[in-house]
């Protein structure tokens, strides 16, 4: 129950207007106390599900997805309330910027263990931010698939040896392809091409349902990189190696601030 102390007359007034107790005349006023179980609004649930899907989010992404008819103050008010009640947690992203993860209570709301709450390590933060930016900060919005959604479609990938967490639906013309997101870590272009060909495409060809999609031209690899110059180099290198797989190469320049072990002021 939310209660507040009124300065002046020695009485405590409940939110519903009832008087519950007297106070000594010399006692200082008390701050408004938050309710123990605040009611979540529909948009709050949508935000928590969004953070579950991407593992992190930022005020900029939330503004774009959920508050496009409001100013940034609306984002601040809602996220401050969700952080206050442990539905979200705020952490440093890089100098001057922050991100949100699920808080203890937020994890419970979306059906996750509390151990899933809290900050991400440097490598996870780098990759998950790149994934978030690819899906939610580009001119065309995309939606990352939860691992459970991907495995429901492709149960032959459930052995545990195959990563299931960075796929998305790639809408192309009148059909939908399966896309895989790889956030490259500043390696040279030869490393990028080797990774794509052998560790991403060839490994998935060993799985029947994915091999069929690859052979039918229904598989896309999305490469997220740091610089426009490198994007051009990657595209030119990929053109020299024709095959049934399509590629998207996008630039997320702020990733340079998130390279593990690097902190840019």
Q: What CATH code is carried by the domain that includes residue 52?
A: 1.10.10.10
239 domain residue, yes or no: yes
Percent of the chain scoring above 70 in pLDDT: 83
Give the chain's domain count.
2
Residue 156 has pLDDT above 90, yes or no: no
Q: Are 53 and 104 within one domain? A: yes
Q: Are 151 and 94 within one domain? A: no
Q: Are 175 and 107 within one domain? A: no
Cα(129)–Cα(138) distance, rounded to whole angstroms? 13
Domain interval for residue 252: 147-257
184 domain residue, yes or no: yes
Taking residues 137-145, report their average pLDDT.
94
98 domain residue, yes or no: yes
152 domain residue, yes or no: yes
Residue 53 has pLDDT above 50, yes or no: yes
Identify the H or E element spanning 169: strand 167-172
Q: Cβ(19)–Cβ(13) under 8 Å? A: yes
Q: Are 103 and 191 within one domain? A: no
35 domain residue, yes or no: no
104 domain residue, yes or no: yes
Q: Which two tokens stand for residue 111?
A: 């059906």
32 domain residue, yes or no: no
Domain boundary among 83, 101, 119: 119
Q: Are 245 and 163 within one domain? A: yes
Cα(64)–Cα(155) distance, rounded to whole angstroms? 34
Contacts with 172 (C-beta within 8 Å, 6 or more apart), sequence order: 220, 246
- Across the chain, mean pLDDT equals 85
Q: Are 96 and 153 within one domain? A: no
pLDDT at 261: 63
207 domain residue, yes or no: yes
pLDDT band at 163 (very low <50, low <70, confident <90, very high): confident
């Amino acid at each position: 129950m939310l209660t507040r102390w009124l300065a002046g007359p020695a009485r405590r007034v409940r939110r519903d207007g009832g008087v519950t107790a007297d106070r000594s005349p010399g006692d200082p006023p008390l701050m408004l106390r938050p309710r123990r179980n605040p009611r979540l609004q529909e948009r709050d649930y949508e935000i928590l599900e969004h953070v579950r899907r991407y593992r992190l989010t930022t005020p900029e992404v939330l503004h774009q997805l959920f508050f496009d008819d409001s100013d940034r103050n609306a984002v601040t008010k809602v996220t401050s309330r969700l952080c206050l009640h442990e539905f979200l947690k705020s952490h440093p992203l890089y100098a001057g910027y922050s991100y949100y993860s699920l808080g203890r209570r937020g994890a419970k709301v979306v059906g996750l263990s509390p151990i899933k709450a809290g900050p991400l390590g440097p490598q996870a933060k780098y990759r998950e931010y790149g994934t978030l930016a690819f899906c939610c900060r580009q001119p065309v919005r995309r939606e990352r698939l939860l691992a459970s959604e991907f495995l429901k479609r492709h149960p032959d990938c459930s052995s545990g040896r195959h990563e299931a967490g960075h796929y998305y639906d790639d809408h192309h013309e009148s059909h939908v392809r399966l896309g895989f997101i790889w956030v490259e870590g500043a390696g040279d272009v030869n490393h990028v091409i080797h990774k794509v060909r052998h560790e991403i495409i060839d490994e998935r060809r060993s799985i029947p349902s994915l091999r069929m999609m690859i052979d039918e031209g229904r598989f896309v690899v999305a490469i997220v990189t740091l610089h426009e110059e490198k994007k051009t180099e990657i595209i030119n290198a990929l053109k020299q190696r024709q095959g049934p797989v399509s590629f998207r190469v996008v630039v997320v320049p702020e990733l340079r601030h998130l390279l593990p072990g690097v902190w840019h002021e």
